[in-house]
Amino acid sequence: MDNSADLAVGQPDTYGRSSLAAVDPTVHELLVRQEQQERTTLKLIASENFASSAVLEATGSIFTNKYAEGYPGGRYYAGNDIVDELENLAIERLKKLFGSEHANVQPYSGSPANQAVYRALLKPCDKVMGLPIPEGGHLTHGWAINFSGTDYRRVPYGLHEKTQQIDYDRLREIAKRERPRLIWVGGTAYPRVFDYAAMTEIAFEVNAYLVADIAHISGLIVAGAHPNPVPHCDVVSSTSHKSIRGPRGGFILSRNEDRYQALYHRNSKYNLARRIDRAVFPHLQGGPHINVIAALAVALQEAATPSFRSYGQQTVKNAKALAQALLERGYDLVTGGTDNHMLILDLRDRPLSGKAYAERLAKAGIITNFNMVPGDPRDPAVTSGIRLGAPAVTSMGMREVEMVQIAGLIDSVLRRPDDEDLHAGVRRDVADLCAAFEVPGITDR
């Protein structure tokens, strides 16, 4: 008796493949609704973007099935010859794009990548300098409730009171006094260019590792729209999504050799690159997500094209245009503007919280996130700011003229936050605006 039908994974469609709609109509219906939402709303979250159909195809590919614990040429499972080729391809593309000596593409995301950096460079209770979250930093840069703030001694540096930009003179003073082992440069809500050369000088003066977190700006760096930290930093970490338009994963770039090997790691037989790799596997992770590495390889191929460079350059132009249009409407922006892909609306003098305004914008089809601002008087759960980002709308093909239009829509909602009829009208206007553009990964299929 043939029982093969009982072993089928799902109901096959006309091409012999499992159909999501047939296997799980509930999840399929949620997917369709999400597609519809993304077709008809303005994605202005700075950390979100649209992956191409090619990236999505690789993410959901047969590589999902493969277990490949270890590294190319040193796996703990057989049958990984093709996987080795794939991972080496992603590594070489990444090194070439950023000009790095070493690359690791296995971190599951940005925070695990940062955790691996800590494990590779530091010992528990070593001092770490980073930008606090209210000033635009990230949880893993030494925030109190994160592992980086509990396992290590945090030494925050801040912004200049007037400019709201990094105060490099003050940073140097703190570093000389505290002598940290590691200094982070990077953030999640800092709308200006980082001065990597100045940070390198400070790190050299105190024998500290300089690590750049480029999760938000990796695509801008590849496009030449933001300085490249690789020549200046010991290690560079990143997510593989956001502005670089890849899958949800992470990567780490580094030098091969450690300039502080003799000072901090005298008894280690491993150079910097090898310590990074060992921190990722086997110290923190098991098997890598090969399907994500495949999608990263595709995204890096796309990032090497002239069209990607144009997209990155236009992203910054769009962010600047959106910032200027909001300034002209009387809004306050953290640092007074932007040099990259994001801007932070400072709404502390407005009657509602950042969260309340973000919720009203979302009902009107404008998707943002509430965010702390420097010196925020409100609780982090509600905040006094809103973070806006240009990558996703730029990926749709929008330009400066649409940014002015978007600023007007935002202004309409924020000026009349309790006018639901107005919000419904804005929602229709947003849908009409989006209908004039293609959504990568959805309308290009």
Residue ranges of the binding site: 137-139
* Cα 72 from Cα 87, distance rounded (Å): 7
Token pair of 313 as six digits = 């350059």
The verdict on whether 101 is a catalytic residue reads no
Give DSSP secondary structure letters for 40-60: HSEE--TT-----HHHHHHHT
339 burial level (CB within 10 Å; 0-12, 13-18, 19+): buried
CA distances from 110 to 139, 240, 247 (A): 11, 8, 12
**Whether residue 248 lies in the annotated active site:** yes
Smallest CA-to-CA distance from 191 within 152, 168, 159 is with 159
Q: How many alpha carbons lie under 13 Å from residue 358 in its C-beta half-sphere?
A: 24
> What are the DSSP calls for 107-130, one per residue?
-SSHHHHHHHHHHHH--TT-EEEE
- Told to judge if 29 belongs to the known catalytic residues of this protein, a careful annotator would answer no
Residue 239 annotated as catalytic: yes
d(CA 334, CA 136): 10
Q: Which of 213, 258, 339, 402 is catalytic?
A: 213
The helix (run of H) or strand (run of E) holding residue 20 is helix 20-23
Of 62, 71, 47, give the one whose Cα is nearest residue 139.
47
Q: Are 148 and 140 in contact (CB under 8 A)?
A: yes
Q: What are phi and psi of 42, to 5 degrees?
A: -95, 110
Residue 253 host element (H or E):
strand 250-254
| Strand arrangement, sheet containing 153-156 | 102-104, 250-254, 235-239, 209-213, 182-186, 127-130, 153-156
Q: Which of 69, 84, 167, 332 is catalytic?
A: 69
* CB-count exposure of residue 176 (10 Å: 0-12, 13-18, 19+): exposed
Q: Which listed residue (24, 40, 57, 67) is catalytic?
A: 67
- 438 annotated active-site: no
Per-residue CA distances from 329 to 54, 143, 278, 344, 347 (Å): 40, 35, 52, 15, 13
Catalytic residue from among 248, 309, 317, 416: 248
Place of tokens 């109901």: 11
Q: Which residues are 252's β-sheet partners?
A: 104, 237
Which residues are part of a known binding site for (6S)-5,6,7,8-tetrahydrofolate?
Answer: 137-139
Residues with catalytic function: 67, 69, 213, 239, 242, 248
